[in-house]
Amino acid sequence: MFEGVMVAIITPFSDGRVDEEAFRRLINRLIEEGITAIVPCGTTGESATLTHEEHRTVTEICIDEVKGRVPVLAGTGSNSTSEAIDLTRHAKQAGADGALMVSPYYNKPTQEGIYQHFKAVAEAAPLPIILYNIPGRTSSLMLPETIARLAEIDNIVGVKEATGDLNLMARTIELCGPEFTVVSGDDALTLPLLAIGGRGVISVAGQVMPRQMVEMYNAFKDGNWEDCRRRFFDLLPLFRALFLETNPIPVKTALSLMGSIKPGFRLPLCAMSPDNEAKLRQTLIDYGLIQ
pLDDT of amino acid 154: 95
Residue 109: asked if its preceding bond is cis (omega within 30°), the reply is no
For residues 171-184, average pLDDT = 96
Burial class (CB in 10 A: 0-12, 13-18, 19+), 43: buried
Residues 175-193 have a mean pLDDT of 96
User: Chain-wide mean pLDDT for the chain?
Assistant: 97
Prediction pTM value: 0.95
> What is the per-residue pLDDT for 196?
96
The CA distances from residue 291 to 129, 188, 257, 286, in Å, are 41, 26, 10, 9
Q: What pairs with residue 75 in β-bridges?
A: 100
| Residue 221 is among the residues annotated as catalytic for this protein | no
Pick the CATH number of 4-224 from 3.20.20.70, 3.10.450.50, 3.40.605.10, 3.90.1570.10: 3.20.20.70
pLDDT (tens digit, 9 = 90+) per residue, 10-42? 999 999 999 999 999 999 999 999 999 999 999
Closest CA to 77 of 31, 111, 30, 127: 127
Residue 1 has what pLDDT?
A: 77
**Cβ–Cβ under 8 Å, residues 120 and 82:** no
User: How much is the pLDDT for 248?
Assistant: 97
C-alpha 258/C-alpha 255 separation (Å) is 5
Cα 119–Cα 125–Cα 126 angle in degrees, nearest 5: 90
Let me know if 132 is a catalytic residue.
yes
Distances in Å between the Cα of 36 and the Cα atoms of 3, 78, 112, 214, 225 are 7, 25, 33, 9, 21
Q: Is 24 exposed, middle or buried (0-12, 13-18, 19+ CB in 10 A)?
A: middle
How confident is the model over 237-269, as pLDDT tens digits? 999 999 999 999 999 999 999 999 999 999 999
How far is the first Cα of the chain from the last one, in angstroms, to the nearest whole number? 38
What are the CA-CA distances from residue 156 to residues 128, 175, 183 (Å)?
6, 15, 14
**Catalytic pick among 92, 105, 115, 132:** 132
* pLDDT at residue number 120: 98
Angle made by CA atoms 247, 105, 254, in degrees to the nearest 5:
10
Q: Which of 160, 217, 221, 279 is catalytic?
A: 160
Answer yes or no: are the C-beta atoms of 251 and 187 closer than 8 Å. Answer: no
Q: Name the residue among 100, 69, 63 with its Cα closest to residue 84.
A: 100
Per-residue confidence at 283, pLDDT binned at 50, 70, 90? Answer: very high
